[in-house]
Homo-oligomer: A and B are copies of this chain.
Amino acid sequence: MSGPDSLQADLAYRFGSAALLEQALTHRSHSARHNERLEFLGDSVLNFVVAALLFKRFPRIDEGDLSRLRANLVKQAALAEIAGRLQLSQYLRLGEGELKSGGFRRPSILADAVEAIFGAVFLDGGFDAAQKVIEHQYEPILQNVDPKTLGKDPKTLLQELLQGRKLDLPTYTVLATHGAAHSQTFEVECRVPKLDIQVTAGGASRRAAEQLAAEKAIAAVKALAPARTGRGARPRKSAQLTLPVAVAQEKK
Q: Which of A41, A63, A66 has most chain B Cβ within 10 Å?
A: A63
| Cβ < 8 Å to B, chain A residues 31-66 | 36-37, 39-41, 43-45, 47-48, 51-52, 55, 62-63, 66
Shortest Cβ distance from A39 into chain B, in angstroms? 6
Q: What 12 new A-B contacts, CB under 8 Å, besides A37-B62, A127-B131?
A: A37-B55, A40-B55, A40-B67, A43-B51, A44-B70, A45-B48, A45-B51, A45-B52, A47-B47, A47-B48, A48-B48, A127-B127
Interface size of A in residues (CB-CB distance below 8 Å): 22
B residues near A47, Cβ cutoff 8 Å = 44, 47-48
A residues 53-87 in Cβ contact with B at 8 Å: 55, 62-63, 66-67, 70
Query: With A44-B47, A47-B47 in contact, is A36–B62 under 8 Å at CB?
Result: yes
Which residue of chain B is the closest to A67 with respect to CB atoms? B40
Number of copies of this chain that the complex holds: 2
Nearest residue (CB) in B for A119 is: B55
Q: Which residue of B lies closest to A54 (CB)?
A: B40
- The 8 A CB mask of A129-146 against B (1 = contact, 0 = none) is 001000000000000000
Q: Which of A47, A51, A66 has the most CB of B within 10 A?
A: A51
| Residues of A in contact with B (beta carbons under 8 Å apart) | 36-37, 39-41, 43-45, 47-48, 51-52, 55, 62-63, 66-67, 70, 122, 127-128, 131
